């Protein structure tokens, strides 16, 4: 009898991810990936996740928190999942992580087109004044390579300093950097910026699903399947084009 009850419960749980199901994901503010803004160009990762789940018949709703609170809330099972996060060994132990990356980020050096900027080794960078943002890993990474970094409290300030030629270069992810440029400056100014093609760092960002969710393993499989479908249709690339430079 107990075996029959267990099989019934298992069968019901698998049905919970069929068409019409709704899940709630906890996220924070990080345009152009996630944002409470109504502007779709501020939330491309949200669009990708929602459409990937929708392809598998799952409806997604979002609730916004400071990032640390969103992370902890999903860890203790208050919400189904959170994104976009870098894969780490600790997170692989704490969550179900998507195998399929939501985004692949490139950390690059931004500079004015008027500057003859080039680099291959970290020694090549020593002749440039480099801007960094307090608390950001990439700035600390450059410091660890023996480079002097001029720190600011907000990433936007580095781009203002670039325009005024108070620094030569600053790092940002390719997508976030151009998003900041296009928001801060009018077209006649934004076209003055460019980035170096050689990435400083590359990494992928993933969905985290709570292991406290009884359908967590099934849910991450559904997401991976939906995201693969989204990429195969070309729709994924269309979403990215909303904010990437031409």
Please give the pLDDT value at position 30: 85
| pLDDT tens figures, 24-49 | 999 998 889 999 998 888 999 999 99
pTM of the model: 0.72
First vs last C-alpha separation in the chain = 64
Could you give the CA distance from residue 207 to residue 86 in angstroms, rounded to a whole number?
9
Across 215-234, average pLDDT: 97
Set out the domains of the chain in order of their start, with CATH numbers.
2-103+204-240 (3.40.190.10), 105-202 (3.40.190.10)
Mean pLDDT for the chain overall: 90
Across 92-112, average pLDDT: 96
Token pair in block for residue 164: 């005024």
pLDDT of 2 above 70:
no
pLDDT of 1 above 80:
no
Could you give the CA distance from residue 234 to residue 1 in angstroms, rounded to a whole number?
50
Please give the pLDDT value at position 244: 67
Where in 163-243 does DSSP place strands (E)?
A: 169-173, 193-195, 201-210
């Amino acid at each position: 009898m107990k075996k029959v009850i267990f099989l019934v419960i298992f069968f019901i749980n698998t049905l919970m991810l069929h068409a019409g199901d709704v899940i709630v994901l906890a996220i924070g503010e990080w345009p152009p990936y996630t944002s409470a803004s109504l502007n779709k160009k501020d939330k491309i990762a949200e669009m990708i996740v929602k459409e990937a789940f929708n392809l598998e018949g799952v409806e997604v709703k979002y609730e916004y928190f400071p990032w640390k609170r969103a992370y902890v809330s999903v860890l203790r099972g208050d919400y189904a999942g959170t994104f976009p996060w870098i894969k780490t060994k600790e997170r692989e132990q704490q969550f179900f992580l998507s195998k399929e990356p939501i985004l692949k980020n490139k950390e690059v050096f931004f500079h004015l087109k008027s500057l003859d900027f080039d680099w291959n080794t970290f020694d090549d960078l020593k002749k440039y004044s480099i801007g960094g943002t307090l608390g950001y890993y990439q700035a600390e990474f450059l410091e660890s390579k023996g480079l002097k970094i001029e720190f600011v409290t907000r990433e936007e300030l580095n781009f203002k300093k670039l325009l005024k030629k108070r620094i030569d270069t600053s790092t940002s992810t390719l997508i976030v950097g151009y998003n900041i440029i296009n928001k801060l400056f009018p077209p006649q100014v934004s076209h003055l910026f460019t980035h170096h093609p050689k990435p400083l760092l590359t990494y992928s960002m993933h969905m985290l699903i709570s292991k406290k969710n009884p359908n967590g393993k099934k849910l991450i499989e559904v997401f991976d399947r939906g995201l693969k479908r989204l990429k195969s249709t070309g729709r994924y690339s269309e979403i990215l084009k909303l904010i990437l430079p031409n």
